Amino acid sequence: MEPWLLWLIAAAALLGLELMTGTLVLAMLGAGAVAAAGVGAVGGDAWLQVLAFAGVSLLMIAVVRPVARRHLTAPREIRSGAAALVGEYAVVIAATEGDAGRVKIAGDVWSARPYDGFTVYEVGDQVQILKIDGATALIG
């Protein structure tokens, strides 16, 4: 059997295994095997085929894999509206007693109440928005 055909079989096997692992390493090795098959198909010696396999594989792992992984990973969830306020900090502008209280969040005034239901926050206290319940910020 011709060496270039063996390289193509190896490339197909590596790409098939890549589908099971998802690490992108085997795909990069598969690309190296395709390059080695190309060298073998034009009559390159065995050492040139191995050199093409190693060189292309290393180049793909070093350059292409990081870029591909960056594009394949899911981006962080984009929070918008009231959900984007959770985790932000606010300043109390009216003391929180029971259900009555007001905070300033990024320049906007919101009604607020303590998350635990009983802590009293005084004017000027810096608090964190723990949850948004309708038009009320639950703070802590």
The pLDDT profile of the chain, 140 residues, written as one tens digit per residue, is: 899 999 999 999 999 999 999 888 999 999 999 999 999 999 999 999 999 999 999 999 999 988 888 888 777 777 777 788 898 999 999 888 777 889 998 888 999 999 888 888 889 999 999 998 888 889 98
Instruction: Find how far residue 106's CA is from the centre of its chain.
Output: 27
Residue carrying the six token digits 């303590």:
114
What's the pLDDT score for residue 65? 87
| Predicted pLDDT at 12 | 95
Measured between alpha carbons, how far is 54 from 127 in angstroms, rounded to an integer?
57
Number of structural domains the chain divides into: 2
Q: What is the pLDDT of residue 50?
A: 95
Cβ–Cβ under 8 Å, residues 26 and 60: no
Instruction: Give the domain-ending residue among 72, 95, 121.
Output: 72
Name which of 123, 110, 124, 116 is nearest 98 in CA terms. 116
Radius of gyration of the chain (CA): 30
| 65 and 107 part of one domain | no
For position 57, what pLDDT does the model report? 94
Clarify whether residues 40 and 68 are in a common domain. Answer: yes
Judge if 52 and 19 occupy the same domain. Answer: yes
Domain assignment of residue 77, yes or no: no
Domain residues for the domain of 62 are 3-72
Domain co-membership, 19 together with 41: yes
Residue 131 and residue 109 share a domain? yes
Kindly list the distances between the CA atom of residue 22 and the CA atoms of 16, 56, 67, in Å, as whole numbers in the listed order.
Answer: 10, 19, 15
Same-domain status, 92 and 130: yes
Residues 62 and 18 in one domain: yes
Q: Are residues 7 and 67 in the same domain?
A: yes
Q: In this predicted structure, what is the pLDDT of residue 28?
A: 93
- Quick one: 7 and 61 in the same domain? yes
Is pTM beyond 0.85? Reply is: no
Same domain? For 63 and 96 the reply is no
Tell me: do 60 and 96 sit in the same domain: no
